[in-house]
Amino acid sequence: MVTTHNLGFPRIGAKRELKFALENYWQGLSSQSELSTAGALLRQRHWENQSAMDLVPVGDFSFYDQMLDMSFTLGNIPARVRDLAGSPLDNYFRVARGRSANESACSCVHAGEMTKWFDTNYHYIVPEFSADTTFSLDASRLLDQLTQAQQLDVRAKPVIIGPVTYLWLGKAKDDSDKLALLPRLLPVYVALLDQLAARGIEWVQIDEPVLVTELNAEWQQAFDTAYAVLKTSQVKLLVATYFGQLQDNLALACRLPVHGLHVDAINARDEVAQLVAQLPADKVLSLGVINGRNIWKTDLHATLEWLEPVHRVLQDRLWIAPSCSLLHVPVDLDSEQKLDRDMHSWLAFALQKLDELHTLAKALNKGRVSVQEALIANHVAVETRRTSARVHVPAVKEAIARIDATLGKRASGYAQRAAKQSALLKLPAYPTTTIGSFPQTAEIRQARNQFRQGVLNEAAYNTLMQREIAHCVREQEALGLDVLVHGEAERNDMVEYFGEQLDGYAFSQFGWVQSYGSRCVKPPILFGDIRRPKAMTVAWTTYAQSLTDKPMKGMLTGPVTILNWSFVRDDQPRSVSCHQLALAIREEVLDLEKAGVRIIQIDEAALREGLPLRQSQWNDYLQWAVESFRITANGVQDETQIHTHMCYSEFNDIIAAIAEMDADVITIETSRSDMELLAAFDHFNYPNEIGPGVYDIHTPNIPSQEHMVQLIRKAEERIPASRLWINPDCGLKTRNWKEVIPALKNMVEAARTLRRAA
């Protein structure tokens, strides 16, 4: 008999119940016990949802983040909160978000650093270490959840983060060697496992996803060391890996003295045969056969074709599960009322994925005939999608086949273009601009909602938006900015806005996925070949241009960013979807140019975060990502100035790729790093123009003119003044006008000061 289990369940709730419970609590609108009750109810419901599984995860539920939970379980709590008043939960939220319920942020307690969980869009709170970090067990959170589960007769499999992954993902604040903490950490893990054993637990899932990354000998050795100690515990350990292949770590993973190994058989299908051969006969092999990272129905027939032979070899030693925790997918497709029948039949959210798993297990245990109906229904859905004319558009595939090197190449090199652009644009030295968006006021959001609900008709909505744009243009003229923007009032989100206007995209109503804490995203679903039925931004941009003699920048989101922030197709490589997006946005670029727009910005905010987990795969990704940008941007004439924007501050490892993109101007985030990151551009001899953000838009603070002048002077040590632009770090969408006006006024003054001194 094959065993079924789940690695983790989306904790946020089908209708984002946890989000609302948390935010009420933080605002002081509910008590701690009300929050606990909300959590307990969600856990109970989610365990019921998973009741068909042989083993159900416990401990995957969190009020903020599973890594932060682990830090508290291990007693690794930053000193800055340790002595503060309040409950452990207050301290938990202080580390999570800088404040507990009803507190205002204070300078003494800054939140822990947050960073991306592997290559997902989930963010975890980074554990903090120093040379004298000590650990002590506080198992209360996990044991409380376990008590609840056991009272409900849940077949509980506690889930914890493994010690090597925990250390790997943390940060030594004093640059000490964090691996040196391992001997101190292990006894706490042993004590934790002992407590679980005392509760009658048989299996514990211990997540070690770093096994799918490149580990040096020292870190590989840490695995041997750690598990030689943990094997003394009474529970059986299932080491869980996900998101990629084991590659060099395969032998290591197989020899760990544990009772089972879980691998991601979606990403590491090629390794399954080797694992079956190599895994010692006393261990179970858990295969993640349902994709936990996307929303597509699994092809059950195709899965059984390769899984049945594996089952015949492994028999009871085979477990099956989703490839990773279902944290990364929405909860329930049945909540969706607006998807058409086809789309609905092609998708599977968390609950549907568990149904698929159950069907697979039954087919393995009792033969395919025992689930014939389900298999036929699955086959029909998979075939309809495979052959749908909505998914496959010959004209798009032909256009992709016609892509060649000329498409992504500008007619002339940067120097020649720059001369023509400057003759045409006649910008002053140190030209000033912004990144695109201006404050999204309550009125703007209200107008958009009313338009969506049909309360406002299109004409009335357009009038309101035009009024907003006109206001934004007037303000920028009054400020004396050199290159203006229309302000993006009509955009809810920089990806969704474009997705909604492209064929090949669908939208869910409740397809929320946790990004961090109570924050969720609802990625649009890229399901078919991408086409642009008509211009998407030209009317707004030309309207804005008609109001001013200053150059108006057209604003677009780039193909790589649209791709990386969507649920994407599993029936073609990401690179193909990206190229399709590139061709569609390229048409928009050319239409803008035709309409007389002289400067076009193509944002690639998510280019960096799409980097694969293993460095060995970076080149391949960067190659098609950069090519896609070039296809989008580089069909324009020499006189048209292309800008791009990236809102992050680590460029060292991708600077060559950024230069390859060949944008005339790039604006980046730098103010918080004191222009330090320009070193990467300097060392590389980055050839084109750069706008290093001179102020941080994430805080309400008004930057002083002097400070911005100082920052630019620093930038000039790296980049010639003739190639510098003056702009904020990022868009101003989240700020209000009262902050924006004085900040930009100072920024424009700073540019004037620099010009006078030149």
Between strands 641-646 and 665-668, the pairing is parallel
What string marks each residue from 539 to 558 as x (binds ligand GLN by CB under 6 A) or -? ----------------x---
Contact 242, 262 (CB under 8 A): yes
Binding residues for 5-methyltetrahydropteroyltri-L-glutamate: 16-19, 116, 519-520, 565, 609
Residue 647 as a binder of ligand GLN (CB under 6 A): the answer is: yes
Catalytic pick from 110, 259, 379, 698?
A: 698
733 interface partner picked from Zn ion, ligand GLN, none, CB below 5 to 8 A per type: ligand GLN
Task: Give the residue closest to ligand GLN by C-beta.
Answer: 731
Which range in 103-111, 181-189, 415-423, 726-734 contacts Zn ion by CB under 5 A?
Answer: 726-734
Give how far the C-alpha of residue 235 lies from the chain's centroid of Cα atoms, to the nearest Å. 34
- Minimum Å distance from CB 611 to ligand GLN? 17
Nearer to ligand GLN, 65 or 603 (CB): 603
Within 598-637, the residues that bind ligand GLN by CB under 6 A are 603, 605
* Single-letter code of the amino acid located at 24: N
- Minimum Å distance from CB 693 to ligand GLN? 11
**627/610 Cα distance (integer angstroms):** 14
Binding residues for L-methionine: 435-437, 488, 603
Nearer to Zn ion, 359 or 670 (CB): 670
User: Contacts by 704-711 with C-beta closer than 8 Å and gap 24+?
Assistant: 704/746, 705/746, 705/747, 705/749, 705/750, 705/753, 708/746, 708/747, 708/750, 709/750, 709/753, 709/754, 711/670, 711/671, 711/674, 711/675
Residue 56 as a binder of ligand GLN (CB under 6 A): the answer is: no
Q: Is residue 691 packed enough to be buried (19+ CB in 10 Å), middle (13-18) or exposed (0-12)?
A: buried
Residue 141 as a binder of ligand GLN (CB under 6 A): the answer is: no
- Minimum Å distance from CB 494 to ligand GLN? 5
Nearer to ligand GLN, 730 or 740 (CB): 730
What string marks each residue from 719 to 748 as x (binds ligand GLN by CB under 6 A) or -? -----------xx-x---------------
Residue 647 as a binder of Zn ion (CB under 5 A): the answer is: yes
494 interface partner picked from Zn ion, ligand GLN, none, CB below 5 to 8 A per type: ligand GLN
Nearer to ligand GLN, 510 or 725 (CB): 725
Give how far the C-alpha of residue 178 lies from the chain's centroid of Cα atoms, to the nearest Å. 26
123 catalytically annotated: no
Secondary structure of residue 647 in the 3-state scheme: coil
Residue 697 as a binder of Zn ion (CB under 5 A): the answer is: no
Phi-psi region of 596 (alpha: psi -120 to 50; beta: other; left: phi over 0): left
Contact 353, 329 (CB under 8 A): yes
How is residue 584 written in tokens? 């569609």
Residues in a beta bridge with 567:
525
Neighbours of 539 (CB within 10 A): 14
- Minimum Å distance from CB 545 to ligand GLN? 17
Phi-psi region of 272 (alpha: psi -120 to 50; beta: other; left: phi over 0): alpha
Residue 555 as a binder of Zn ion (CB under 5 A): the answer is: no
Number of residues that bind ligand GLN (CB under 6 A): 13
3-state secondary structure 336-361: CCCCCHHHHHHECCHHHHHHHHHHHH
Binding residues: 16-19, 116, 435-437, 488, 519-520, 565, 603, 609, 645, 647, 669, 730
Q: Which residues contact 667 (CB under 8 A, 6 or more apart)?
A: 433, 435, 643, 644, 645, 646, 690, 691, 692, 693, 725, 727
Q: Using alpha carbons, list the distances in angstroms from residue 414 to 67, 168, 559.
A: 46, 42, 22
Out of 222, 230, 494, 754, which residue is the one contacting ligand GLN (CB under 6 A)? 494
Residue 645 as a binder of ligand GLN (CB under 6 A): the answer is: yes
Within 361-420, the residues that bind ligand GLN by CB under 6 A are none
Contact 548, 475 (CB under 8 A): no
Contacts with ligand GLN by CB under 6 A lie at: 435-437, 488, 494, 555, 603, 605, 645, 647, 730-731, 733
**Binding residues vs Zn ion (CB under 5 A):** 647, 730
Which residues are marked as active site?
A: 698
